[in-house]
Amino acid sequence: MQKKLIVSDPKIMMGKPVIAGTRITVEIILEKLSAGETVEQILEAHPRLTPEAIRAALAFAAQALRINHKQFFDGQSS
């Protein structure tokens, strides 16, 4: 049985998806990676994170995009 790494609770960070057992949001991990931080830098800044948790955050974001991509682009012109 695989441990659930991404969780959402309305009482924690306003319900944003976070790494289980932390208040570190998937959003902040994505922002740090897009700003050019390396996985190693993120792990150093957040010792409770693991490489597996960062991969889980990326997988969560990819799944969310698969589910919501049509909604995101509706109404935008090409």
């309305």: which residue's tokens?
10
| Adjacent-strand bridge partners of 19 | 6
pTM of the model: 0.82
Q: What does DSSP assign to residue 15?
A: G
| Better-predicted residue by pLDDT, 41 or 75 | 41
pLDDT digits (tens, 9 = 90+) for 32-48: 999 999 999 999 999 99
Write down the pLDDT at residue 1.
41
Angle between helices 26-34 and 51-73 (to 10 degrees): 90
Judged by DSSP in three states, 16 sits in: coil
pLDDT of residue 68 exceeding 90, the answer is no
